[in-house]
A = this chain, B = another copy of it.
Amino acid sequence: MGLIVQKFGGSSVANAERINHVADIIADTYKAGNNVIVVLSAQGDTTDDLIEKANRINPNASRREMDMLLSSGEQISIALCAMALEKRGLPVVSLLAWQIGLQTNNTHMDARIRKIAKERLQTELDKNNIIIVAGFQGVNAFGDVTTLGRGGSDTSAVALAAAFHANLCQIYTDVDGVYTADPRVVPNAKKLSEITYADMLELASQGAQVLHNRSVELAKKYHVNMEVVSSLKPVPGTKVKEVVKVEKTNIGGVAKMDNIVRFSLVGLADRPGVAFKVFSLLSRNNVNVDIILQSVGRDGSKDISFTCTMSGVEKARAVLEENRDAMGYDSIEIDYDVAKISLVGAGMMTHAGVAADMFEALYDGGINIQMIATSEIRISVLVKKDDANRAIKVVHDKFFGAES
C-alpha cells in the first residue's frame, strides 16, 4: 500500500463525536495496510476564542506571543484524536511541530516552511505507529513557535506528504470535492473528479474556499498527489494533479469573492507616472491591489479605480489620503457594494470566444459589468454584490449547462 497523509480541519474535530468519526476514517486507512500521518487543525472555534481572549488583554500583542497562544489549539485536538485511536487499540503517537522539527522562517503568524527533520517521524513510521501531527505550527531558527497563517494546516499536510514522498495527501473537508461553482449558490454545479494544480490555484485565489492556494502551490512544486474529500460522506472526492484528462470545455469552474471593495481616485492630473505613483505607494504599504481600471475623466483629468480586499481598506485609504498632495486627485470614492466573479480554466484563453460567451451570459442576465480583468487561465468581472449569485448562475449555466 504506502504512506497516506490525511488532513482534517477544525469542524471535523469540533467535538467528541466528530473526533470519533475522524478516528474511524484513520483506523480504516491504517487497517487497509497503509502508514498514516494525520494533520489536524484546532477544534471548531478554538482559534477565534483564543484571539478574543488576547484582544481583551492586549489588542496589539506581539505576533510572537500570538503564535504562542494560537498554537495551543492544535495540541488539544491531536491529543484527543490520539486518545480516540488508542481506544480502538491502535498504536498512535501525537507530535507537535518542535517534536518533528518542522522549521519555518521567522515571519510570525504567516511563516513559511523551510524544512522538516526526518528522524522522529521516521522512527515512528518504522514502529508502524499512526502519527498525529499538529498542523498550522512550526518552529523558527531561534526556537520560537510560529504559525503558518491562513490555510496553514493544509500546507503542513502537503509539506509532510512532500517530505516523505507520500502516495497521497487527502484534505478532508465539509464538502465532498471541488465543484464547478459553489453548490450552495449554483445547485446544479458539478463535482470535478480531477482538476489541475493550475486551475485549482486560480480557483482558490479567486475565492473558492475549499483549498488554500499556498498548499496547492506547494503540492504543484513537489508533485504531491492531493485529493479533496468529504469527512462526512464516503464518496470519491476531487483529485488535484499535474495533468487531467481533457474535457470539452477546459473550464474548471466559477468562483466568487465578495470581501472586496472598489476604490476610485477621481480627477487625477492626466500626466505620465501618475498611475505608477499610486500603485507603487500602495504596494510599498502592503496593500494588494487586484483589478485596475483607468478611464478618462472630465476636463482632461483621469480616474483610476482598483479593487482590494476588505482587510486592506483602512490601510489603502490612509496611504492615499496622506499622499493626496503628491498625487493631486479631487476625491476618493470607496464602493463596498461589489463582488468579483471569476471563470477559471487552464488553456481557456486559447479557446476563442470564452470571454465573449461569458459577457453575453451576463448581458442576457441583465447584469452590469463594472470592471474586467483577465489572465491566461481566468476572466474576472466586477459586479454589484446583489448580482453576484445570479452572475455565477448564468455564467455557470453558459459553460456547464443548465441541467445537471
Contact = CB atoms under 8 A, between A and B. Distances in A.
Interface of A: 16, 19-20, 50, 53-54, 56-58, 60-62, 64-66, 68-69, 71-73, 75-76, 78-80, 82-84, 86-87, 93-94, 96, 98-99, 120, 143-145
Nearest to A101: B143
Contacts of A78: 68
Contacts of A93: 64
A65 B132 CA distance: 11
Contact of A57 (B62, B87, B145): B87
13 contacts: A16-B53, A16-B57, A53-B80, A54-B83, A57-B84, A61-B83, A65-B79, A65-B83, A68-B79, A68-B82, A69-B75, A69-B76, A71-B75
Contact of A94 (B58, B68, B82, B84): B68
Contacts of A72: 72-73, 75-76, 79
Contacts of A73: 72
Q: Which 9 A-B pairs have the closest CB atoms?
A: A69-B79, A61-B83, A68-B79, A58-B83, A58-B87, A72-B75, A16-B56, A72-B72, A65-B82
Given A20-B57, A68-B82, 5 more contacts: A57-B83, A57-B87, A68-B79, A71-B75, A72-B72
Contacts of A84: 57-58
Contacts of A99: 143-144
Contact of A80 (B57, B76, B143): B57
B71 A86 contact: no
A61 B61 CA distance: 36
Contacts of A57: 16, 19-20, 80, 83-84, 87
A75 B69 CA distance: 6
Contacts of A82: 61-62, 65, 68
A75 B98 CA distance: 14
